[in-house]
Amino acid sequence: MKLKPINYLNQFKKKKYFQGLAPQQLIPQLADLYCELNVIHPFREGNGRTQRIFFEHLIAHCGYGIDWSRIDSQQQWIQANIEGFYGNLNPLIQIFEIYFIQNT
């Protein structure tokens, strides 16, 4: 984790919650935020479900969509999150690119 949770969320706010970004700019930001929130892990249970709902709303607020149901490999998703924890966001970026829906 690069920043303390509150500092990270303040940075997110300063970025205007990613509004107005094109997909090629937005997706890497989403992958980074997803990893950071994963590390924070604020709840005993339900972190993954909560993150997916939060990201559905965040992405919709930016004018796009995401279809989590199309993720066909749970192991690939888990591995992408592990890679993100260690600083390699590329696997998560690739997953977001596949399931990202433009112009919802």
For residue 14, being part of any structural domain is answered with no
Q: Which of 67, 61, 75 is nearest to 18 (CA)?
A: 61
- pLDDT tens digits, 53-103: 999 999 999 999 999 888 877 899 999 999 999 999 999 999 999 989 887
* In-domain check, residue 49: yes
39 token code pair: 């590390």
Q: Is 69 within the bounds of a domain?
A: yes
Q: In the chain, how many domains are there?
A: 1
Range of the domain at 77: 23-101
Please say whether the beta carbons of 101 and 65 come within 8 A.
Answer: yes
pLDDT, one tens digit per residue, over 18-66 is: 999 999 999 999 999 999 888 888 788 888 899 999 999 999 999 999 9
Contact 49, 66 (CB under 8 A): no
